[in-house]
Structure formats: structure tokens, C-alpha cells
């Protein structure tokens, strides 16, 4: 093969290489122009924990593989702003006595759904320190202006089925059984002094006056004992759900 022939083939080979590299560069550059595909956002639900077990004193509350709250006092709420801790799926919640995370005294499994809200209550079973965990689903609706949503939960170990009456004696809830959470009722915003009676109309508890603000959502938990046990007497605590937003 002559030198001129070799040069001819070399030029053709060089042109092919340049064309190949140009195509590869175009492909790479074009690929850079494509928008990056963001990973899907993790889904979560909101769970709050309310300590309503008067027999138990201070508790520690855990979520297996995702959270620990220590020294939870009776009547307090934890978890209003911790939705990121509770990704969707099955979650195991446990309650322990303080500084004793080796032996749990109550357990509940909750299947958390996307954008749902839940309330988990530690409630009394009897005089012993043996609370149970009660789960209820919270509302996502919002009351109209001038209205409020109020839900009542019976968490007393020994109180009978109860009726809840308004200030004027008109009924709000009838025959509320133990470990029952009724549907939210719509009330006018304002101050109420509710009364809890048994089904024979005997007064069990007169609530302290409470002002319910327009547009807010509330859960009222009745806990404690009517006299069978030595811990806190029957009481009503009002918890605001609006803070979950």
C-alpha cells in the first residue's frame, strides 16, 4: 500500500472517529438538558399521644424504629408537631414505666395511612398500673365560621355509660360507653359548662366552664375514677386539635 493510500484511509478513519465522538458528546449534552426525576416524597400521617391513665403517673412512650418521649405526665399531649416521625405503614406503639424501656406495659399497632390523623390514648383498666392504648381517627374537616367541632371520649376505668348535657340541660351525647369515641358534634362557638350524667340522669361530673373558639376542633376526654379506685377523681380535659394543622 502506497503512502497516499494509507493517508486516504487514515483520513477516513479520523473522520469516523470525530463523527462518533461528536455524536457521543451531543448525546451527553442533550442528556444534561433533561429534567432530573425527583424521588417521591415520603408519605406520612400524624399521630399524637395523650396520657389519660390516672393510675399510671409518669409514663415513657415509644414508637418502635421512630421516636421516644420520656416523662409524659398525666393529662399532657405529645406528638402534635411530629408527623415526620410517623411514615405510612404499620407502626408499633408502646408505653413503659419511667426509665424502664425493657418491659412495656401497653402496646398498640396502628396502620398509618397517608395524610390521616390519629389520637392514641393511654387509659386506665383498673386500679393497677396497667393502662391500655386506645386509638381513634381524627377529622380532617373544618368547622364553619362561628362553629366548632367537639368530640367526647370515655376513658374512665369505672364510670358507667354517660350522657353529656349542655349548659341549658339539652343533650349533646347520649349513652357514651367506656373506650368509645363518638363522632364530632357541631356546636356554636362560645362558653359551655357541660355536665356528665349516668343513664339514670344522676350527675357524675360538672365540667369547669370552657370557651370554645370559632373554627377550632376539640377532643374532650373523660378519665379518672368515680370512687372505686384511689387515683384521680373523674375529670374532663379539653384538648385542641387545631394545633395539628
> Does the pLDDT of residue 137 top 70, yes or no?
yes
Same fold, 39-138 and 141-245: yes
pLDDT above 90 covers a percentage of the chain that reads: 36
Name, in order, each residue with C-beta under 8 angstroms of 88's C-beta and a sequence gap of 6 or more. Answer: 43, 44, 45, 112, 113, 114
Among positive and negative, which fits the CA dihedral 65, 69, 75, 76? negative
> Does the pLDDT of residue 15 top 60, yes or no?
no
Q: Domain ranges for the chain, please list them.
A: 39-138, 141-245
Residue 212 near residue 192, CB atoms below 8 Å: yes
Residue 48 near residue 133, CB atoms below 8 Å: no
* pTM metric for this prediction: 0.76
- Higher-scoring residue by pLDDT: 196, 23: 196
Q: How many CB atoms lie within 10 A of CB 229?
A: 18
- Higher-scoring residue by pLDDT: 202, 8: 202
pLDDT in tens, 75-117: 776 654 333 357 788 888 888 877 676 777 888 888 989 888 8
Name, in order, each residue with C-beta under 8 angstroms of 175's C-beta and a sequence gap of 6 or more. Answer: 161, 162, 163, 199
Residue 112 near residue 182, CB atoms below 8 Å: no
**What is the reported pLDDT for 14?**
38
Does the domain formed by 141-245 have CATH 2.60.40?
Answer: yes
Say which CATH class 39-138 falls into. mainly beta
> Does the pLDDT of residue 228 top 90, yes or no?
no
Amino acid at each position: 500500500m502506497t503512502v497516499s493510500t494509507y493517508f486516504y484511509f487514515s483520513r477516513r478513519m479520523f473522520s469516523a472517529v470525530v463523527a462518533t465522538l461528536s455524536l457521543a458528546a451531543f448525546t451527553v449534552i442533550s442528556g444534561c438538558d433533561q429534567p432530573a426525576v425527583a424521588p417521591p416524597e415520603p408519605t406520612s400521617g400524624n399521630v399524637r399521644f395523650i396520657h389519660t391513665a390516672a393510675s399510671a403517673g409518669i409514663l415513657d412512650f415509644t414508637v418502635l424504629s421512630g421516636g421516644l418521649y420520656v416523662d409524659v405526665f398525666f393529662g399532657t399531649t405529645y406528638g402534635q408537631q411530629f408527623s415526620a416521625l410517623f411514615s405510612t405503614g404499620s407502626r408499633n406503639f408502646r408505653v413503659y414505666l419511667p426509665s424502664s424501656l425493657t418491659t412495656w406495659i401497653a402496646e398498640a399497632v396502628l396502620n398509618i395511612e397517608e395524610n390521616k390523623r390519629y389520637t392514641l390514648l393511654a387509659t386506665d383498666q383498673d386500679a393497677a398500673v396497667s393502662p391500655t392504648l386506645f386509638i381513634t381517627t381524627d377529622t380532617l374537616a373544618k368547622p364553619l365560621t362561628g362553629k366548632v367541632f367537639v368530640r367526647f371520649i370515655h376513658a374512665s376505668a369505672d364510670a358507667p355509660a354517660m350522657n353529656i348535657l349542655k349548659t341549658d340541660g339539652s343533650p349533646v351525647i347520649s349513652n357514651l360507653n367506656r373506650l368509645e369515641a363518638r363522632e364530632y358534634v357541631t356546636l356554636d362557638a362560645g362558653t359551655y359548662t357541660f355536665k356528665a350524667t349516668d343513664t339514670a340522669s344522676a350527675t357524675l361530673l360538672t365540667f369547669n366552664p370552657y370557651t370554645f373558639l370559632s373554627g377550632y376542633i376539640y377532643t374532650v376526654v373523660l378519665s379518672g375514677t368515680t370512687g372505686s379506685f384511689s387515683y384521680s377523681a373523674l375529670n374532663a380535659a379539653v384538648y385542641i386539635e387545631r394545633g395539628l394543622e
